[in-house]
Structure 1
């Protein structure tokens, strides 16, 4: 599978815009400032396919990227950014809720968290939404390059405990250095190869 053969397809502002072509979807979620777009770009070996904003909260719609003509990377709106209006937060929540209303869309869920911080209540809610789909689910603990070797293990333990994860569901990751990129790509391939 050629992950570099990727193209932006559409930005869905309402549920009626979600593609209905039946292609598998690898779904990314995370806080507004967690580096979700950077993780997507890292996996695709592209620099700016998923837009990386200078300020958090840029992804306000559900963005679809078609990979190798065979499946989608789906970038859900970021959450938890304080400077966004309550009305906009409610709109984002409704849009994401509508996305998860059909669990068959999800081939694999990837929740991106910041390895340096304890997951928030919003992270816990998003993890539970992924888990409720009954589909495979991975937490990518991004920004591990900013932790020392002695800080990494306790940080990962805190994430696993807070999100109530099995060890195999948590992956230390760095979009900047590419740490665990090949591992996550392998997991994506495995999920997509299952009937």
Structure 2
């Protein structure tokens, strides 16, 4: 998709605040600092539209981005950071679960992991949880430019094995915001589900 018009239309914490126009939605989930903002900015051809933050855990609401009046990207609070209280983490968890488990407009989830590392406990839990709800998942391994070409297959194998990858409901893609590799494939995955 060639993107020219994007706007953040709302931040929501409960279903009564979600958009009501029925457009397809794609959620982006991942640990704090895994590169969600960088992926979003690359997909929508902007430099700093989705803010990257030096302070993990800054996103505390579901942020809906209207893309070309055709679909929404939904930026979900990052997980796995220590600075937020346990109570706050639990409320994020409930907010995310309510959205993901009940939203009819949700066509798929782009779940981000760091290509350089074995997925964290939270990454694995998130992936299995999405599988439990039978939600189509694109598992995106970010920061792929930091891995030597010859090691990509090994990295993919480690990630897939760790999350117990399901080939039927999931797809896998390496991505780099530096080289933009993987951008077209991520868009293709989204467009296939529109």
TM-score, normalised to structure 1's length? 0.91
By how many angstroms is 1:146 displaced?
Answer: 1.0
Matches of residues 85-104 of structure 1 in structure 2 within 5 Å? 85-104=85-104
- Find out whether 1:79 has 2:79 as its counterpart: yes
**Structure 1 counterpart of 2:193:** 191
By how many angstroms is 1:106 displaced?
Answer: 1.5
By how many angstroms is 1:130 displaced?
Answer: 2.3
SS in 2 for 1:141: strand
CA distance in 1, matches of 2:101, 2:108: 15
- Find out whether 1:161 has 2:156 as its counterpart: no
Matches of residues 164-179 of structure 1 in structure 2 within 5 Å? 164-166=164-166, 169-179=171-181
Gaps of 5+ in 2: none
SS in 2 for 1:98: helix
- Find out whether 1:143 has 2:143 as its counterpart: yes
By how many angstroms is 1:137 displaced?
Answer: 1.4
CA offsets 1:10-36 (integer angstroms, 9 cap, x no match): 111333222232111011100011011
Dislocated runs of 4+, deviation >4 Å: none
CA distance in 1, matches of 2:58, 2:102: 25
Alignment: residue pair count: 192
TM-score, normalised to structure 2's length? 0.92
Matches of residues 1-195 of structure 1 in structure 2 within 5 Å? 1-166=1-166, 169-192=171-194
CA distance in 2, matches of 1:132, 1:69: 31
Gaps of 5+ in 1: none
